[in-house]
Amino acid sequence: MLTTAQQLTAVLDHWQSGKGPLYQQLADAIVALAESGSLEHGARLPSERALATELHLSRNTVTSAYQQLREIGWLEVKPGAAPRLGSLSRGVAALSAQDRFSKILTGRYEPLVAFNTASPPPAPAVTEALADLEGFLGGKPAVGNGYAALGDRDLVLAVTDHLRALGIPARADEIVITSGAQQALWLLVTMLAGPHRPVALESFTYPGVFDAIQAAGSRPLALPMRDQGLDAEGAAKLLRAARPELAYLTTFHNPTGTAMTDEAVQRVLAAAAASGTTVIDDRTIGDLTLTGEPRRPLAAYASGAAVITVGGMSKVFWGGLRVGWLHTNATLAAQLRHRRAAMDLGSPALFQRVAARLLRDRFEDTLAWRLSALRESLAATRTAVSEHGLDWTWHEPEGGPSLWVRLGSGNADRFSERAEAAGAPVAPGSAFEVLPGAADGHFRLPFYLPPEQMRLGVKMLADRAA
């Protein structure tokens, strides 16, 4: 497990510069670790001399940082005793896992333009299938008792073939069918994580993972990010040092749309193998390649690391099917399959049958349609932002359905509140960050909607929220 000094070093290295004087950076780093759960209420901190030595800082810098934290209630100091994290470190000021997730969900009423959720409308293949289920399935849609708790056999085989086409040597007994990729992720984290070792995450990531980590009794460990994506060298060092139970990674990073190079992937996987860390490769948006060549799944690399692949129908076809999957070793798959069945008896058998046919017969043409639609909507978004003179900036995504937008000025949480009031809600950066402050000034802007709706939504944000 990382020492307090090592955790602080990782945060300070991630921030680098531009966060104010050193004592302020150190104080902010301690607060960030406390709010993320990496340091718990009551945790003992090193003495001023010891921390100064370990961080290669002057003692005056550490003294000033500790003094500031005492004044605002983050540190409790008793004569003759080491300083401890005080009452504010209970995380009252931080977003709960449920708060984070709620930022990306549609409420009771559908907004005029739903920018807060990165989920697409149904693809034409889905609409056609649901309009004539009997014709699409080649027989009566309602058969049997309606349950396929352990996974429809045709769907399991279709997923197996789909993964093999991606380069993963999958077998049918290694597949678990789930109610979407979110359930697959929750099953894995709550099964494999625990209180003794953390779960490593990109320093801002998909909000749905936080609730699973909390339910497992574990805590997040932030892997450093740069503008170009995951800092592979820094992440590898942290994995080797902290030896987390799990590392949750995304093919195209959610929400920035960046992707690791082959060299970066190999470096991170080698570190995971050396540290005994199981990697969860979330490929939920992994097929949505906007530039360059499609990215290989992590399980297709001969790395020696234990890799579990998560995927689903939601981002190419439609989330309303509620069909996802995971691929792991046969022993763990059998355990997860029965654990998952005990939760809800599986996705409806009818939708599993529909998903099997869609995945086997309509994947390629639907993916081509979806990518074309995404590129058109992205182009419309760029034009609308320019036309309204908005000072938003972003790095062009390599894949995925979202822009990670930096506001030219202003607070992203307040901007999010104004956007919701305007009828075009967006998810602020705080919903995605592991370390508070890692996503300052950012919000996620999905471009799944048709071009005309993207233009309308940007106009609404420009007129009423910017």
Of residues 305 and 11, which shows the higher confidence score? 305
Distance CA 258, CA 395 (A): 9
Mean pLDDT of the chain: 89
Q: Are 157 and 290 in contact (CB under 8 A)?
A: no
Q: Are 281 and 326 in contact (CB under 8 A)?
A: no
Distance CA 302, CA 216 (A): 30
What's residue 18's pLDDT? 52
Share above pLDDT 70 across residues of the chain, in percent, rounded to a whole number: 91
Condensed to tens digits (0 to 9), the pLDDT of residues 404-414 reads: 999 988 889 88
Q: State the CATH class of domain 4-90.
A: mainly alpha
Condensed to tens digits (0 to 9), the pLDDT of residues 439-464 reads: 889 999 999 999 999 999 999 999 98
Distance CA 408, CA 389 (A): 11
Q: Is the fold of 4-90 the same as that of 138-364?
A: no
The domain locations on the chain are 4-90, 97-123+367-464, 138-364
Condensed to tens digits (0 to 9), the pLDDT of residues 220-254 reads: 999 998 888 999 999 999 999 999 999 999 999 99
CA neighbor of 235 nearest in space, from 205, 265, 191: 265
Instruction: Band the pLDDT of 388: cuts 50, 70, 90.
Output: very high
What's residue 13's pLDDT? 64
Which residue reads 């992720």 in tokens?
185
Of residues 326 and 413, which shows the higher confidence score? 326
Single-letter amino acid code for the residue at 176 = V
What's residue 93's pLDDT? 40
- Is residue 72 scored above 80 in pLDDT? no
Report the range of poorest mean pLDDT among 124-133, 195-204, 281-290, 315-324.
Answer: 195-204
Q: Burial of 121 by CB count in 10 Å (0-12 exposed, 13-18 middle, 19+ buried)?
A: middle
CATH 3.90.1150.10 applies to domain 97-123+367-464: yes
What predicted TM-score, i.e. pTM, was given to this entire model? 0.80
CATH topology of domain 138-364: Aspartate Aminotransferase; domain 2 (3.40.640)
Q: Are 223 and 200 in contact (CB under 8 A)?
A: yes
